């Protein structure tokens, strides 16, 4: 039936000798391998599961089917953000029926041996993978970070495939697991830019993702050293407007010491010179609001890092938010605990902001977003894209600093960032 | 949608007047419907409501359109890995498109239909076409996919 060379272990699993759950998982993997035209499967060293987001009865039935069949993960496995904050949902007024279903889904995965890490930024956890490691991660922003910034190797594993890989420890040898698929396709030349701040990378990522779709971009000409937070924002945005699973930034990411190496010593399929106009249009596209007030500031899509907690604490030290504005930050329990030990959560809470753990903006609905909320401001291009469809709000997009200034005044403090201004143009 | 006078009873018989093409069958199954086509990839999670069948991505050209029972012709997916679960939920609750025609193989969209087949024995046909055939499908008004993965296109 198939041209895939299976190992003895793969065959054992397919025959059901390691139990029904692993058999189902292997059947799904083999079908996907056929779709991907993979010739064999490989071992993966860890998995990150995105399927723990509650999307309806079917998601729960799938997970419970595997858990009831005594499925157990074969490799270290982390869990993505879930649909509720397990410690705070009651206080937040979340519907108990929904919370119950969301918790049941998370529990099914925990029963199979996954760690309750509950984060969409698993690369911020202590056991993150290393360069060259084959892994099976789902969650689009985690995938692009693992491939591009860490140099680990994962495909954009769909939900369901993540648990199948975790149960079997196997995945099709295809896509970004292969050297040649990791090479750049599109050479992206940047215009000369000054005064780059943290709002630049999400804008650039959103622009690049929309243009390259699922190809691998090689970003060249950046005269600024991005932080991991910048790279997170860039990747998350590119994996929103497009299907970017891997990018290179020359002299920044580990597989791009030079343009030539990033492209595999071949000419690029496409050479794109980004203009200031394109960046300006993208920035405008992310700002869909035109209101005089702000109801909510949303930080932490993807989950806030410890360095972002430091940055936010520094900016809001000694200040207080406007009483009509809610400021919510989503992060993992792990980062929250680190931030607490370093006194950062106190600082941020004195400003009037509130932390939420376990869940993230992609899953948060009302009433966690207060009922009256019409206008949101965020530093995340990913959330600026999804929020209008998910929670029916208008969105302003800006740097962390602009978000804090807005939170204090209660009115949108949105001005075109300095790096976008015309005198930058060459 | 263009009127097609040659089609008297399009739902029962194969579309005799139509061109038929074959593609890469990702999930086999029967399906047919009016065509809704786009050039822009879609994230099913965050871009599509599995309960109503509506496209909810405000940044997508098909924002507000309904996909239930239609043949959805799109180049591929973008965005979230959770798209597979959202599509599964749509299939599970009988709100899904009648068939999906892709230009590139898309793992996230495909897997939702593969799991529906493996776990729930429910079939949403998904076929990937080469570029010229995909362009034909995009311009079609009605498409029928048979259980062998043949795609009947009517303009």
The three-class DSSP label of residue B66 is strand
Measured on CA atoms in the order A228, A302, A358, A51, is the torsion positive or negative? negative
Residue A222 lies in a domain: yes
Q: What is residue A422's predicted lDDT score, i.e. its pLDDT?
A: 65
One domain for residues A308 and A363: yes
For residue B134, the domain's CATH number is: 3.50.30.10
pLDDT digits (tens, 9 = 90+) for B126-145: 999 999 999 999 999 999 99
Token pair 């858990």 is found at A67
Q: Which residues of chain B does A285 touch, with a Cβ-Cβ cutoff of 8 Å?
A: 59
Q: What is residue A348's predicted lDDT score, i.e. its pLDDT?
A: 98
One domain for residues A236 and A271: yes
Residue finishing a domain among A152, A179, A206: A179
Residue B6 lies in a domain: no
Kindly list the distances between the CA atom of residue A66 and the CA atoms of A378, A422, B113, in Å, as whole numbers in the listed order. 38, 57, 18
Q: What is residue A333's predicted lDDT score, i.e. its pLDDT?
A: 98
Residue A145 lies in a domain: yes
Length of chain A: 426
Q: What is residue A415's predicted lDDT score, i.e. its pLDDT?
A: 82
One domain for residues A128 and A59: yes
Residue B20 lies in a domain: no
A113 burial level (CB within 10 Å; 0-12, 13-18, 19+): middle
Q: Which residues of chain A does B120 touch, with a Cβ-Cβ cutoff of 8 Å?
A: 58, 61
Four-CA torsion B5, B10, B16, B17, nearest 10 degrees: 30
Residue B9 lies in a domain: no
For residue A389, the domain's CATH number is: 3.30.499.10
CB A354 within 8 A of CB A329: yes
Q: What is residue A414's predicted lDDT score, i.e. its pLDDT?
A: 86
Q: What is residue B155's predicted lDDT score, i.e. its pLDDT?
A: 86
One domain for residues A363 and A379: yes
Parallel, antiparallel or unpaired: strands A270-273 and A375-378: unpaired
Pairwise CA distance, residues A303 & A329, whole Å: 8
Question: With an 8 Å Cβ cutoff, are B114 and A240 in contact?
Answer: no
With residue A296 as reference, give the H or E element that holds it: strand A296-299
One domain for residues A43 and A71: yes
A229 burial level (CB within 10 Å; 0-12, 13-18, 19+): buried
One domain for residues A188 and A172: no
Residue B32 lies in a domain: no
How far is A319 from chain B, CA to nearest CA, in Å?
A: 35
**A185: phi then psi, degrees, rounded to nearest 5:** -110, -45
Question: With an 8 Å Cβ cutoff, are A158 and B84 in contact?
Answer: yes
Domain that holds residue B52: 39-154
One domain for residues A165 and A16: yes
Percentage helix, strand, coil, to 5, in chain A?
A: 40, 15, 45
Residue A425 lies in a domain: no
CB A283 within 8 A of CB A277: no
Local structure of residue A188 (DSSP, 8 states): E
Residue finishing a domain among A285, A307, A328: A285
Sequential pLDDT tens for chain B (155 residues): 444 444 444 444 455 557 789 999 999 999 999 999 999 999 999 999 999 999 999 999 999 999 999 999 999 999 999 999 999 999 999 999 999 999 999 999 999 999 999 999 999 999 999 999 999 999 999 999 999 999 999 98
Residue B45 lies in a domain: yes
Token pair 């996230």 is found at B108
Q: Which of B74, B83, B85 to mutate to test the interface with A (most CBs of A within 10 A)?
A: B85
- Tokens, residue A236: 């998350």
Domain that holds residue A405: 287-416
Q: What is residue B65's predicted lDDT score, i.e. its pLDDT?
A: 98
> Which one of the listed residues B11, B50, B80, B96 is annotated catalytic?
B80
Residue finishing a domain among A265, A285, A305: A285
Q: Which residues of chain B does A289 touch, with a Cβ-Cβ cutoff of 8 Å?
A: none
Structural domain total, chain B: 1
One domain for residues A274 and A316: no
Q: Which of A55, A64, A146 to mutate to test the interface with B (most CBs of B within 10 A)?
A: A55
Pairwise CA distance, residues A9 & A1, whole Å: 18
A111 burial level (CB within 10 Å; 0-12, 13-18, 19+): middle
Q: What is residue A382's predicted lDDT score, i.e. its pLDDT?
A: 98
State yes or no: is B80 an active-site residue.
yes
- Tokens, residue A346: 């106190």
Q: What is residue A416's predicted lDDT score, i.e. its pLDDT?
A: 87
Residue B30 lies in a domain: no
Q: What is the ipTM of this complex?
A: 0.91
Residue A423 lies in a domain: no
Residue B15 lies in a domain: no
Q: Which residues of chain A fall short of a pLDDT of 70?
A: 1-2, 422-426
Residue B148 lies in a domain: yes
Structural domain total, chain A: 3
Residue A93 lies in a domain: yes
Pairwise CA distance, residues B43 & B45, whole Å: 5
For residue A101, the domain's CATH number is: 3.30.499
Q: What is residue B3's predicted lDDT score, i.e. its pLDDT?
A: 42
One domain for residues A266 and A404: no
One domain for residues A196 and A141: no
Measured between CA atoms, the residue of chain A closest to residue B39 is A213
Measured between CA atoms, the residue of chain A closest to residue B56 is A389
One domain for residues A332 and A269: no
CA B119 to chain centre: 20
């Amino acid at each position: 039936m198939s041209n895939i060379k299976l190992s003895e272990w793969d065959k054992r699993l397919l025959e059901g000798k390691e139990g029904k759950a692993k058999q189902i998982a292997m059947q799904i993997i083999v079908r996907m391998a056929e779709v991907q035209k993979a010739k064999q499967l490989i071992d993966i060293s860890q998995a990150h599961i995105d399927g723990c987001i509650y999307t309806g009865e079917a998601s729960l039935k799938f997970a419970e089917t595997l858990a009831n069949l005594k499925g157990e993960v074969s490799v270290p496995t982390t869990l993505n953000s879930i649909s509720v904050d397990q410690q705070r949902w009651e206080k937040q007024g979340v519907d108990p029926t929904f919370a119950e279903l969301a918790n049941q889904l998370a529990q099914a995965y925990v029963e199979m041996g996954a760690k309750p890490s509950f984060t969409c930024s698993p690369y911020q956890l202590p056991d993150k993978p290393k360069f060259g490691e084959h892994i099976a991660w789902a969650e689009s922003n985690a995938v692009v970070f693992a491939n591009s910034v860490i140099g680990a190797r994962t495909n954009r594993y769909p939900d369901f495939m993540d648990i199948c890989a975790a149960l079997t420890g196997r995945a099709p040898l295809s896509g970004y697991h292969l050297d040649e698929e990791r090479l750049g396709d599109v050479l992206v030349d940047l215009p000369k830019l000054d005064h780059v701040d943290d709002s630049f990378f999400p804008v650039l990522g959103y622009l690049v993702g929309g243009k390259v779709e699922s190809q691998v971009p090689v970003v060249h000409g950046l005269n600024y050293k991005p932080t991991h937070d910048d790279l997170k924002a860039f990747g998350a945005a590119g994996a929103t407007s497009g299907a970017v699973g891997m990018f290179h930034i020359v002299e920044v990411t580990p597989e791009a010491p030079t343009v030539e190496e990033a492209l595999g010593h071949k000419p690029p399929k496409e050479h794109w010179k980004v203009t200031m106009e394109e960046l300006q249009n993208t920035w405008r596209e992310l700002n869909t609001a035109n209101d005089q007030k702000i109801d909510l500031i949303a930080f932490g899509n993807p989950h806030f890092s410890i360095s972002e907690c430091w940055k936010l604490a520094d900016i809001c030290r000694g200040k207080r938010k406007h009483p009509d504005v809610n400021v919510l930050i989503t992060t993992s329990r792990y980062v929250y605990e680190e931030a607490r030990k370093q006194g950062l959560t106190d600082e941020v809470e004195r400003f009037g902001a509130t932390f939420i753990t376990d869940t993230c903006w992609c899953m948060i609905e009302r009433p966690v977003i207060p009922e009256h909320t019409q206008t949101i401001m965020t530093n995340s291009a990913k959330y600026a894209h999804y929020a209008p469809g998910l929670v029916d709000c208008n969105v302003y997009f800006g740097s962390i600093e602009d978000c804090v200034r807005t939170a204090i005044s209660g009115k949108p403090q949105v001005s075109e960032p300095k790096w976008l201004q015309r005198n930058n143009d060459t | 949608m263009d009127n097609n006078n040659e089609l008297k009873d399009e739902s029962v018989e194969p579309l005799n007047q139509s061109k038929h093409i074959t593609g890469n069958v990702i999930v086999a199954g029967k399906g047919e419907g009016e065509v809704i086509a786009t050039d822009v990839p879609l994230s099913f999670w965050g871009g599509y409501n599995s309960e109503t069948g509506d496209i909810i991505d405000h940044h997508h050209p098909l924002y507000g359109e309904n996909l239930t029972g239609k043949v959805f012709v799109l180049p591929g997916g973008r965005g979230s890995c959770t798209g597979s679960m959202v599509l599964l939920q749509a299939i599970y609750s009988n709100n899904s498109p009648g068939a999906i025609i892709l230009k590139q193989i898309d793992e996230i969209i495909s897997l939702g239909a593969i799991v529906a087949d493996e776990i729930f024995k429910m079939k949403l046909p998904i076929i990937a076409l080469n570029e010229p055939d995909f362009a034909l499908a995009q311009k079609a008004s009605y498409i029928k996919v048979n259980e062998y993965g043949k795609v009947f296109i009517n303009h």
